[in-house]
Amino acid sequence: MRIILLGSPGAGKGTQAKFITDHYHIPQISTGDMLRTAVNQGTAVGLQAKAMMDAGQLVPDAVIIALVEDRISNADCKNGFLFDGFPRTLPQAEAIRKNHILIDFVIEIAVDDEEIVKRLSGRRIHPGSGRIYHLIYNPPRIPNKDDVTGEDLIQREDDCEETVRERLQVYRRQTKPLIDYYQDWQRRGDEGAPHFIQVNGQAEVLEVRDRILAELSKSAS
């Protein structure tokens, strides 16, 4: 089961990725994880990537693809893998295809922008413990105070409405075209085209999980 998971920030990809990887006993792989592992292991590609990052340069797609090929050759990927946050762009998607890295399913967790803004901008955090609250879905007993210590809660800069909307714009610009790419590929019926699955991410968490697993089971049979 080789899966690409797509969705905007706050769509619930992390939660659903855990459900999927536990169900199919496959690893969740992100670009950041691959880079850190390769650098820590001192592989040739890892050292090349580290030199670029140390120089403040973006790691080119060719290096990312080499990291991917190294990572999925590991024993824990024998039953498949789930890519989270990769590919991010059309050139990366094309590179996956040209390098014959087979993908079985592309799953999009679809959530409206305004729901994403509501989800993320409503989060509040207790800095000392990392406890997370939400003004609507999980409010503290006393507004803006931690339930345990009574200390002030904060809003992370990443969760400010203006920042959330900027992140969504970046997603639409860079990553949303991937949805069209994989949908078109499936429609053409080309050899090796992955199944594209779109799931409404605004349902309850367990309902989203059940829909994803049902679609994967149906498409794989």
Catalytically active residues are 13, 88, 123, 156, 167
| 139 in a labelled binding site | no
Q: How far apart are CA 105 and CA 92, in angstroms?
A: 16
Q: Are strands 132-134 and 123-125 parallel, antiparallel or unpaired?
A: antiparallel
Tokens of 169: 């714009």
Per the annotation, does 133 bind a ligand? yes
Query: Of the candidates 7, 6, 24, 13, which has an alpha carbon nearest to the alpha carbon of residue 77?
Result: 24
Does 128 carry a binding-site annotation?
A: no
User: Is 169 marked as binding a ligand?
Assistant: no
Instruction: Indicate the length of the chain as a whole number.
Output: 221
Find all residues with CB under 8 Å of 68, minimum gap 6, and list them.
29, 34, 86, 96, 101
Q: Is 186 annotated as a binding residue?
A: no
Query: How is residue 185 written in tokens?
Result: 């590929």
Q: Are 123 and 153 in contact (CB under 8 A)?
A: no
Does 189 belong to an annotated binding site?
Answer: no
Contacts of 214 (CB under 8 A, 6+ apart): none
**Residue 58 known to bind ligand:** yes
Ligand-binding annotation for 85, yes or no, is yes
Q: Is 38 annotated as a binding residue?
A: no
What radius of gyration, in Å, describes the C-alpha atoms of the chain?
Answer: 19
Q: Is 109 annotated as a binding residue?
A: no
Residue 88 annotated as lining a ligand binding site = yes
Is 71 known to sit in a ligand binding site?
A: no
Residue 161 near residue 117, CB atoms below 8 Å: yes
List Cβ neighbours of 139 (8 Å cut-off, separation of 6 or more): 133
Binding-site residue ranges for ATP: 10-15, 123, 132-133, 203
Binding-site residue ranges for AMP: 31, 36, 57-59, 85-88, 92, 156, 167
Binding-site residue ranges: 10-15, 31, 36, 57-59, 85-88, 92, 123, 132-133, 156, 167, 203
